[in-house]
Amino acid sequence: MGATAVIGAQWGDEAKGKIVHHLCRRARMCVRFNGGANAGHTVEDGRGTVRLHLVPCGALHPGCQGVIGHGVTVDPWVLADELGGILAQGRSHPELLLSERAHLVLPHHRLLEEREGTAQRIGTTRRGVGPCYTDRAARRGLRLADLIDERQVREHLRAASRVAGGGFDPEQVVEDLLRFRDRFAAHIGDARAAIAGALERGEEVVFEGAQGTLLDLDCGTYPYVTSSTTTVHGIGWGTGVPTARVERVVGVTKAYTTRVGEGPFPTEEGGEIGERLRAEGGEYGATTGRPRRCGWLDLVALRYAHAVNAFTDLALTKLDVLSGLREIRVAVDYRIEGQRVTGFPPRAEDLARAEPVYEVLRGWEEDIAGIRDYEALPSAARRFVRFVEAQVGVPVTFIGTGPGEEAIIVRRRG
Ligand code: IMP
């Protein structure tokens, strides 16, 4: 089946991990191309719940290699911890390949994120990801390939310590990095060539996006965004493999909307509805534990995400969370200062003033948790799905009906 991309269509946390895990049952490779340990992908399978930050979700399947492309910022301490957690659950060691061109997140990146105030202003995940991408763009970063040269590593850390004004022991960090290099030596290499080779052999490759389209550095709600390319375009950017090789682009959206951190969110519901969605959906950040802001599904934003990514399929997740609501609202347009707006405004200031124009759909009482057959959904739930399809112009191929890996409806192909 070639290459499939799984892309967040909202502000992240769309339950991409579940969809990726499902799609990787038969895949040879699962590739991360953007973000870093700011991502939090939750997978719930027969062995328990795992929260992954750097290890690609598909790599939990034996036979599926987890590949970390050069667009990913790699925090070696987080990666080592994460692998420890996976092994502690009795799982086998995931097969991993890390791009030698990927940049390292170092202790001064986290310190700078706090000191420069970005953490507070944007409401970041405080993982040092933004400052690491800053160093990369400023051409002063340290890459996995550089770990080969001990002297360079030592000089880099001494300079970083001076820039950060202390706060960590550079010699200890050098020691940790060299230990990491020795442990992972066999897993650091040419990820681009490995992905290209798999595609050449006709093997199935799944690209796992982190964060979502509305957090993209350029296409998102700037400046309240992350520092990487979170859209389908991030595949070429973050792996060196042409994005044109991707045949299928699955956009993942929840049946409602959430956001963590600062920034505009037109359909946010502060009151009872927001609290209910948070409680029913377990809407707390997988990386930071922060309560997520919750609100109705926003089709203006979803149509925009489709325009950016050209989705071939949609995955509509967490549909079960809407059960029991008498009516369900869906934003179909915005109104900004009395004017009806159908497009997604480029300025956060304008988006902050946008009032959603809602279409009100009938809800359903039935508990739909764990349903796997589309026809078994209540008619009001099917009407909701059809409404989304018609508004966005993309078929809903996957529907999430609960947190477990089995709680999924797969329509047509998949
Ligand atoms: P950073 O990526 O830590 O720099 O944070 C920038 C913005 O992206 C903040 O609003 C974060 O809450 C948000 N963000 C980063 N990663 C994720 C994610 O995986 N899910 C949801 N939001 C995220």
Let me know whether 266 and 406 are in one domain.
yes
- Asked if residue 258 belongs to a domain, the reply is yes
User: What pLDDT is recorded for position 47?
Assistant: 86
Q: How confident is the model at residue 1 (pLDDT cuts 50, 70, 90)?
A: low
- Asked if residue 17 belongs to a domain, the reply is no
Reference 381, options 401, 406, 357; nearest CA is 401
Taking residues 219-244, report their average pLDDT: 98
Let me know whether 168 and 278 are in one domain.
no
Q: Which of 184, 211, 235 is the last residue of a domain?
A: 184
If one counts the domains in the chain, the total is 2
Neighbours of 405 (CB within 10 A): 16
Residue 262 structural domain: 253-410
CA distance 267 to 153: 47
Q: How many whole angstroms from 205 Cα to the centroid of ligand 1?
A: 25
Let me know whether 261 and 380 are in one domain.
yes
Looking at every residue in the chain, the average pLDDT score rounds to: 96
Percentage of the chain exceeding pLDDT 90: 93
User: What pLDDT is recorded for position 342?
Assistant: 85
Q: Give yes or no for residue 230 having a pLDDT over 70.
A: yes
User: What is the tens place of the pLDDT at every residue in 303-338?
Assistant: 999 999 999 999 999 999 999 999 999 999 999 999
Q: How many whole angstroms from 411 Cα to the centroid of ligand 1?
A: 31
Is omega for the bond preceding 223 within 30 degrees of 0, making it cis? yes
Let me know whether 404 and 257 are in one domain.
yes
Taking residues 379-407, report their average pLDDT: 97
Give the domain CATH number at 328: 3.90.170.10
Report the range of poorest mean pLDDT among 48-52, 200-204, 250-254.
48-52
The answer to whether the CB of 228 is under 6 A from ligand 1 is no
The answer to whether the CB of 39 is under 6 A from ligand 1 is yes
Q: Give yes or no for residue 412 having a pLDDT over 80.
A: no
User: What pLDDT is recorded for position 257?
Assistant: 98
Taking residues 257-286, report their average pLDDT: 96
CA distance 56 to 62: 13
User: What pLDDT is recorded for position 216?
Assistant: 98
- Asked if residue 326 belongs to a domain, the reply is yes
The answer to whether the CB of 257 is under 6 A from ligand 1 is no
Let me know whether 286 and 368 are in one domain.
yes
Let me know whether 258 and 405 are in one domain.
yes
How many distinct helices (H) and strands (E) make up the chain?
13, 20
User: What is the tens place of the pLDDT at every residue in 332-379?
Assistant: 999 999 999 888 999 999 999 999 999 999 999 999 999 999 999 999
Let me know whether 172 and 261 are in one domain.
no
User: What is the tens place of the pLDDT at every residue in 15-59?
Assistant: 999 999 999 999 999 999 999 999 998 888 888 888 999 999 999
Name, in order, each residue with C-beta under 8 angstroms of 169's C-beta and a sequence gap of 6 or more. none
Nearest CA to ligand 1 atom 8: 226
- Asked if residue 57 belongs to a domain, the reply is no
In the three-class reduction of DSSP (H, G, I as helix; E, B as strand; rest coil), residue 361 is classed as strand
Let me know whether 161 and 287 are in one domain.
no
Let me know whether 403 and 293 are in one domain.
yes
- In ligand 1, the atom with minimum distance to the C-alpha of 13 is 20
Give the domain CATH number at 139: 1.10.300.10
- In ligand 1, the atom with minimum distance to the C-alpha of 39 is 19
Q: Which residues pair with 291 in a beta bridge?
A: 284
Interior/surface letters 25-45, b for 16+ CB within 10 angstroms, e for the rest: eebbbbbbbbbbbbbbbbbbe
- Asked if residue 2 belongs to a domain, the reply is no
Q: Which of 135, 152, 184 is the last residue of a domain?
A: 184
Let me know whether 149 and 289 are in one domain.
no
Let me know whether 283 and 141 are in one domain.
no
User: What is the tens place of the pLDDT at every residue in 67-79?
Assistant: 999 999 999 999 9
Name, in order, each residue with C-beta under 8 angstroms of 270's C-beta and a sequence gap of 6 or more. none
Q: How many whole angstroms from 126 Cα to the centroid of ligand 1?
A: 9
Q: How many whole angstroms from 261 Cα to the centroid of ligand 1?
A: 7
Nearest CA to ligand 1 atom 10: 261
Q: Which of 126, 158, 184 is the last residue of a domain?
A: 184
- State which of 260, 262, 292 you would mutate to test the pocket of ligand 1, scoring each by most atoms of that ligand within 8 A of its C-beta: 260
Give CA angle at 209 (204, 211), nearest 5°: 165
| Catalytic residue list | 13, 41
The answer to whether the Cα torsion of 386, 243, 109, 146 is positive or negative is: positive
- Asked if residue 20 belongs to a domain, the reply is no
- Asked if residue 3 belongs to a domain, the reply is no
Q: Give yes or no for residue 414 having a pLDDT over 70.
A: no
User: What is the tens place of the pLDDT at every residue in 96-108?
Assistant: 999 999 999 999 9
Let me know whether 169 and 292 are in one domain.
no
Q: How confident is the model at residue 168 (pLDDT cuts 50, 70, 90)?
A: very high
Q: Give yes or no for residue 413 having a pLDDT over 60.
A: no
- Is-contact 98 124, C-beta < 8 A? no
- Asked if residue 242 belongs to a domain, the reply is no
DSSP state of 77: H
Taking residues 185-203, report their average pLDDT: 97
User: What pLDDT is recorded for position 289?
Assistant: 87
- Is-contact 136 102, C-beta < 8 A? no
